[in-house]
């Protein structure tokens, strides 16, 4: 019986199957492709024997044939799968091919590019950058940047900002800056100057820089001010330009306890290279006659001078001063008094001020450079204030020639508070009862405080019955004046004392009272910041 069933199952095949063995008839042009032969199971259960499946697949002349028993439920499933593969059909659960995925990405990116072009953004630089796959997400990013105050022009200046996710990049960074104390009103300018911050990691990139700034004696409350003024510092390496610039400043004499204040007022120093910027600047000022320690003191008081371009500005201004007949020996004193003179656009101002003073005072050729040497700030005085001071002196009864002599002798009379000058002049006329020629000889009288210096000293001299010049009365310290009050007569050599700027005042020993220095700094920095 079993043999009969076996003969029925394998009829019409050119290949003979035996248990666990598959043979191909040698006479058939048969090329096996995928052959599955099930071992025949011999069982006493007749139903299992009838339900057994035998499948054979072979290829003849590059055509595929499948043979299976018609009564097997498994054969129908296999045949269905094979038929689907042969037709190339796909089910609802099949994955798209790599080519289909690539084409889809290209189509999505094209739609995003079309959207950006429609609002005026050039996407040329975005090739290779990971962007949102939908226009809706890209629109969300653009709208968020608009809320921060950035314009289409700003985005075009740094289109890579469009690669930042609102939730993953922008919001965490802005939240961190806000918690530090950076004002929201400054975010727009902050991002215009340094949009790369939106790519940064708060933990890996930003927090270590902030910690390093605090290690440079910048007070925690001043950190947001530093970041607002110089946001680029957030992109600096910890052991790089920041460390070397600070070390150099301390090396030339900038007090270590002043470093925090210097960096707070002018954090751009953190990005300056010592060899290319700071050192050449310091050495050039030294070559003009300013001692290195004096340069260090100037940097402490006005750190922004390090930002004056040495080649394109500083040296050009020094050349202009020399061309206007300012003596080279006076340059050091002038720069120490008014460092801004080497950082402004100087030549046009020199031409303008010389023309104005020539027309108002009929100056001689040698007068203007003398005025500039004595008060370099004159190059920054406004036309109207200067003319008001000239008119005041004329109203006091001085001739044009006397006014010219007073201005050349003490250019500060062109810049003093007019109300205070009026009070001092009234006292000079009514209480001191001196001739106008005394003021012509010593116009610096107007630079002294009436209540603090002029009145008390005049009263002491009048009580003693001494006759003295204004210069002898005023050009000395309070201690020196008390010594003079013990004289029976006035020594002639003391009557000719001349006031001038002393470079040594920049290099006087410092007080060790750090608290006093800190309070002075805070008051000064607050004024500058406002």
pLDDT in tens, 470-489: 999 999 999 999 888 887 66
d(CA 461, CA 37): 133
Which strand (E) or helix (H) includes residue 383? helix 383-395
pLDDT of residue 486: 82
d(CA 263, CA 270): 7
Q: Which residue has the higher pLDDT, 508 or 78?
A: 508
d(CA 459, CA 450): 12
pLDDT of residue 490: 61
The model's pLDDT over 305-353, given as tens digits with 9 standing for 90+, comes to 999 999 999 999 999 999 999 999 999 999 999 999 999 999 999 999 9
**Token representation of residue 191:** 């991002």
In the numeric block, the tokens 């009829």 are attached to 11
Which among 381-390, 457-466, 504-513 has the top mean pLDDT? Answer: 381-390
d(CA 297, CA 507): 7
Which residues pair with residue 523 across a beta bridge?
none
pLDDT band at 93 (very low <50, low <70, confident <90, very high): low
> What are the start-end ranges of the H helices in 119-255?
135-147, 152-157, 171-180, 187-193, 207-215, 223-229, 241-252
Tell me the average pLDDT across 100-104: 73
Burial of 270: CB neighbours in 10 Å, binned 0-12, 13-18, 19+: buried
Which residues pair with residue 21 across a beta bridge?
18
Tell me the average pLDDT across 375-383: 96
- Specify the 3-state DSSP secondary structure of 338: coil
DSSP secondary structure, 300-333, as one string: HH-GGGGGS-IIIIIHHHHHHHHHTT--GGGHHH
- Specify the 3-state DSSP secondary structure of 60: strand
Give the Cβ contact number of residue 58 at 10 Å.
Answer: 20
In the numeric block, the tokens 């040296």 are attached to 315
The model's pLDDT over 113-162, given as tens digits with 9 standing for 90+, comes to 899 999 999 888 888 788 887 899 999 999 999 999 999 999 999 999 99
pLDDT of residue 48: 42
pLDDT of residue 395: 96
pLDDT of residue 509: 65
pTM of the model: 0.71
Q: Report yes or no: 388 and 394 within 8 Å, Cβ to Cβ.
A: no
Q: Is the pLDDT of residue 40 over 70?
A: no
Among 38, 518, 503, 83, smallest CA distance to 293 is for: 503
d(CA 133, CA 104): 10
Q: Is the pLDDT of residue 52 over 80?
A: no
- Segment among 8-12, 190-194, 207-211 with least mean pLDDT: 8-12
Strands 63-67 and 15-18: unpaired
> What are the start-end ranges of the H helices in 399-513?
400-409, 418-427, 436-441, 455-464, 470-474, 478-484
pLDDT band at 55 (very low <50, low <70, confident <90, very high): very low
- Specify the 3-state DSSP secondary structure of 97: coil
Which residues pair with residue 31 across a beta bridge?
59
- Kindly state the DSSP code that residue 86 receives in the 8-state scheme: H
Q: Report yes or no: 291 and 503 within 8 Å, Cβ to Cβ.
A: yes
Tell me the average pLDDT across 43-55: 43
Q: What is the mean pLDDT of the chain?
A: 81
Share above pLDDT 70 across residues of the chain, in percent, rounded to a whole number: 75
Q: Is the pLDDT of residue 525 over 50?
A: no
pLDDT of residue 42: 41
Share above pLDDT 90 across residues of the chain, in percent, rounded to a whole number: 62
d(CA 148, CA 138): 16
- Specify the 3-state DSSP secondary structure of 21: strand
Which residues pair with residue 16 across a beta bridge?
23
d(CA 134, CA 35): 48
In the numeric block, the tokens 């029925």 are attached to 8
Q: Report yes or no: 374 and 410 within 8 Å, Cβ to Cβ.
A: yes
pLDDT of residue 73: 46
d(CA 357, CA 422): 22
Q: Is the pLDDT of residue 237 over 70?
A: yes
Among 263, 354, 247, 349, smallest CA distance to 306 is for: 263
């Amino acid at each position: 019986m079993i043999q009969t069933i076996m003969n029925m199952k394998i009829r019409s095949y050119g290949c003979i199957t035996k248990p666990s063995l598959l043979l191909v008839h040698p006479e058939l042009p048969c090329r096996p492709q995928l052959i599955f032969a099930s071992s025949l199971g011999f069982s006493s259960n007749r139903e299992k024997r009838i339900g057994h499946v035998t499948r054979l697949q072979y290829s003849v002349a590059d055509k595929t044939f499948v043979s299976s028993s018609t009564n097997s439920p498994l054969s129908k499933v296999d045949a269905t799968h094979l038929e689907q593969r042969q037709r190339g059909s796909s089910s609802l659960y099949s994955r798209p091919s790599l080519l289909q995925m690539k084409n889809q990405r290209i189509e999505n990116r094209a739609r995003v590019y079309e959207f950006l072009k429609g609002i005026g953004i050039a996407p040329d630089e975005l090739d290779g950058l990971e962007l949102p796959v939908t226009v809706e997400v890209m629109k969300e990013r653009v709208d968020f940047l608009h809320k921060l105050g950035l314009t289409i022009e700003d985005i075009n200046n740094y289109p890579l900002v469009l690669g930042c996710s609102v939730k993953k990049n922008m919001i965490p960074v802005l939240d961190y800056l806000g918690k530090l104390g950076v004002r929201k009103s400054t975010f727009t300018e902050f991002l215009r100057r340094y949009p790369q911050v939106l790519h940064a990691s708060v933990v890996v990139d930003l927090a270590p820089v902030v910690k390093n700034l605090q290690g440079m004696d910048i007070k925690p409350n001043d950190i947001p001010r530093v970041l607002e003024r110089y946001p680029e510092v957030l992109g600096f390496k910890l052991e790089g330009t920041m460390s070397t610039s600070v070390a150099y400043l301390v090396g030339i004499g900038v007090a270590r306890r002043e470093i925090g204040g210097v960096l707070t007022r002018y954090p751009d120093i953190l990005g300056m290279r010592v060899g290319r910027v700071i050192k050449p600047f310091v050495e050039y000022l030294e070559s003009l006659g300013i001692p290195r320690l004096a340069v260090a003191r100037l940097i402490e008081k006005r750190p922004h001078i390090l930002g004056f371009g040495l080649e394109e500005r500083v040296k050009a201004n020094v050349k202009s001063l020399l061309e206007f007949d300012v003596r080279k020996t006076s340059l050091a004193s002038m720069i120490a008094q008014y460092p801004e003179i080497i950082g402004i656009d100087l030549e046009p101002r020199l031409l303008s001020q010389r023309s104005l003073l020539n027309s108002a005072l009929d100056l001689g050729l040698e007068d203007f450079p003398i005025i500039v040497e004595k008060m370099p700030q004159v190059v920054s005085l406004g036309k109207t204030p200067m003319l008001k001071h000239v008119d005041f002196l004329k109203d006091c009864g001085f001739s044009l020639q006397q006014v010219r002599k007073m201005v050349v002798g003490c250019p500060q009379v062109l810049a003093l508070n007019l109300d205070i000058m009026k009070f001092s002049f009234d006292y000079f006329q009514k209480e001191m009862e001196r001739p106008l020629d005394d003021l012509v000889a010593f116009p610096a009288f107007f630079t002294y405080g009436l209540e603090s210096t002029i009145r008390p000293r005049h009263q002491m001299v009048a009580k003693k019955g001494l006759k003295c010049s204004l210069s002898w009365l005023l050009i000395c310290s309070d201690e020196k004046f008390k010594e003079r009050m013990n004289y029976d007569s006035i020594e002639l050599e003391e009557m000719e004392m001349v006031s001038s700027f002393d470079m040594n005042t920049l290099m006087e020993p410092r007080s060790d009272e750090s608290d006093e220095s800190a309070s002075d700094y805070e008051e000064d920095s607050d004024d500058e910041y406002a």
